[in-house]
Amino acid sequence: MKKNRLNMALGVAALSLLLMTGCNDQEPAQSKDANAPAATQSTASEEKRVPLKDKNGVESTYYVGTVNESGQPESEQAKEFTNDGQLIYEGSWLEGKRNGFGVEYEDGKKVYEGEWLNGKRHGQGTEYWKTDGSVKWSDSGVTGRKYGKS
């Protein structure tokens, strides 16, 4: 009988402690050890603003997104702006260049949506007329031929 009362008292004490500490179903916090491997440390990437140079070496645009270990733009979802803050591209970047899927804008209007490789339009994509947003041409990416209005 004494054993049952003791177990019951311990159970009530444990429950009280859990309720007082605000315990929930989350896993316990990990201790922050400076010598711990990088895999156990926080992996949240911080967005950076990186000036980009044009063909003449002039910083005419800037990138907002994450960067790789070399400090080059690299992200699956980042943006490029003119120096006066106008959006000109949003999409993927690899090693400092537009790479993967992205959308290019001129004067706030979508002018191209599709694939990029090493900073150039490449593969499947669609170009739009700035005036009315209608399709100017579309490329399947298979034949390399453009289809649509000219």
**pTM for this model (two decimals):** 0.65
Q: What is the pLDDT of residue 145?
A: 55
Following DSSP, what letter does each residue of 53-101 receive, concatenated? Answer: E-TTS-EEEEEEE-B-TTS-B-EEEEEEEETTS-EEEEEEEETTEEEEE
Contact 121, 103 (CB under 8 A): no
- Angle at the Cα of 122 (from 119 to 72), degrees rounded to 5? 20
Q: What is the pLDDT of residue 149?
A: 55
Distance from C-alpha of 128 to C-alpha of 38, rounded to nearest angstrom:
45
Q: What is the pLDDT along the chain (150 residues), one digit of tens a residue?
A: 444 444 444 444 444 433 344 444 433 333 333 433 333 333 346 899 999 999 999 999 999 999 999 999 999 999 999 999 999 999 999 999 999 999 999 999 999 999 999 999 998 999 999 999 999 999 876 555 555 554
Own/partner pairs for 57-65, CB < 8 Å, 24+ apart? 59/83, 61/88, 63/93, 65/93
SS3 at position 41: coil
Tokens representing 109 are 């209007």
pLDDT tens-digit map of 75-106? 999 999 999 999 999 999 999 999 999 999 99
Radius of gyration over every alpha carbon of the chain, rounded to an integer in angstroms: 27
Q: What is the pLDDT of residue 39?
A: 35
